[in-house]
């Protein structure tokens, strides 16, 4: 579980600053998503713009297309261009470890109602947030809206808490109704992210991986892997992209570190039927009379 934050505190102001940076970057990045533009151009633009505005990426920019739901990111030499597709941008910013996480969907595929379903579900979820509400109740709001549009929520993906230098912690915020849940308290920092699909509503792992995270302190014998591990300290435990590394034979070293349970990979998650997925996300702080959205 994330530590609570007091409204008006220095920590709160850093969460707000991260959100302000993210909001500006998201708008600028979304405007660049057009047919014929490469995914790498948009990802690198957003990550560099975050730094220009005084933040750091909290994780690599996720660019998920069509049936992809999460963890999709372009590689260093990726020349994949946007086509007539559904494109989800998921961006994270931190200021001294204080994280903002948001997502939006740019529809180039001609399915605007699927995008609206996720957007309206997020609005309903945010409206439901207040101290004492259970996360399962928020999930019910999300489910009701998405199903009213004739779609399904992605039920094995959830929103989540965020903490200092921790982009994904408790409590989980489901995208469907659950009887049980975590009761929200003043000061909780949450990222709520409805996913809507015209498929069955479940995702599974694909084979592609570009995003990694240090998760352990095991030892490896390989010299290059040990050197790479030293280099990874710069990310302060937050997820990073393989393309951010300039170490020789970095991919081989990453595999060795993963085999030693020092590094975890995040394979791309895809809708099981190959159906379209839309996403919308905001980060917010629970307050005494509701919540304050930091990424709006």
Task: Give the residue among 76, 96, 88 at the shortest CA–CA distance from 21.
Answer: 96
Task: Give the residue among 247, 238, 246, 255 at the shortest CA–CA distance from 99.
Answer: 238
Tell me if residue 101 is catalytic: yes
Is 281 assigned to a binding site? yes
Is 98 assigned to a binding site? no
Q: Which of 68, 98, 163, 168 is catalytic?
A: 168
Tell me if residue 98 is catalytic: no
Is 3 assigned to a binding site? no
Is 79 assigned to a binding site? no
Tokens matching residue 23: 């909001």
Tell me if residue 281 is catalytic: yes
Burial 230-239 (b: 16+ CB within 10 A, else e): eebeebbebb
Q: Which of 66, 107, 188, 193 is catalytic?
A: 193
Tell me if residue 94 is catalytic: no
Say if residues 263 and 209 touch (Cβ distance below 8 Å): no
Q: Which of 101, 107, 166, 292 is catalytic?
A: 101
Is 168 assigned to a binding site? yes
Is 71 assigned to a binding site? yes
Q: Which of 20, 68, 90, 166 is catalytic?
A: 90
Is 134 assigned to a binding site? no
Tell me if residue 107 is catalytic: no
In 108-262, the DSSP E strands lie at 152-153, 159-163, 166-173, 189-192, 195-197, 203-214, 240-241
Say if residues 268 and 90 touch (Cβ distance below 8 Å): no
Q: Which of 47, 188, 280, 281 is catalytic?
A: 281
- Binding-site members for substrate are 71, 168
Which residues are catalytically annotated? Answer: 90, 101, 160, 168, 193, 281
- Binding-site members are 71, 90, 101, 160, 168, 193, 281
């Amino acid at each position: 579980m994330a530590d609570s934050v007091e409204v008006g505190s220095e920590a709160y102001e850093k969460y707000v600053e991260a959100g302000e940076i993210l909001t500006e970057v998201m708008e600028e990045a979304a405007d660049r998503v057009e047919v014929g533009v490469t995914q790498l151009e948009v990802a690198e633009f957003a990550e560099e713009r975050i730094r220009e505005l005084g933040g750091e990426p909290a994780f690599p920019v996720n660019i998920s297309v069509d049936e992809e739901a999460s963890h999709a990111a372009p590689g260093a030499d990726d020349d994949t261009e946007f086509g007539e597709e559904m494109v989800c941008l998921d961006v994270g910013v931190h200021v001294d470890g204080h994280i903002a996480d948001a997502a939006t969907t740019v529809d180039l595929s001609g399915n605007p109602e699927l995008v609206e379903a996720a957007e309206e579900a997020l609005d309903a979820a945010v409206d439901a947030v207040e101290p004492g509400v259970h996360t399962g109740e928020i999930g019910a709001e999300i489910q009701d809206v998405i199903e009213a549009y004739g779609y399904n929520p992605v039920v094995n993906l959830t929103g989540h808490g965020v903490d200092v230098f921790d982009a994904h912690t408790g409590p989980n915020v489901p995208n469907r109704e659950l009887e049980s849940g975590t009761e929200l308290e003043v000061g909780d920092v949450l990222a709520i992210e409805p996913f809507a699909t015209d498929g069955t509503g479940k995702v599974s792992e694909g084979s592609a991986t570009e995003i990694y995270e240090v998760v352990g302190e095991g030892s490896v014998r390989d010299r290059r892997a040990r050197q790479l591990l030293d280099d990874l300290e710069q990310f302060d435990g937050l997820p990073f992209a393989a393309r951010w590394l300039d170490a020789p034979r970095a991919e081989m070293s990453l595999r060795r570190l993963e085999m030693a349970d020092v590094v975890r990979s995040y394979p791309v998650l895809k809708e099981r039927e190959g159906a379209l997925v839309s996403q919308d996300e905001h980060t917010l702080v629970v307050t005494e009379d509701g919540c304050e959205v930091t990424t709006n």
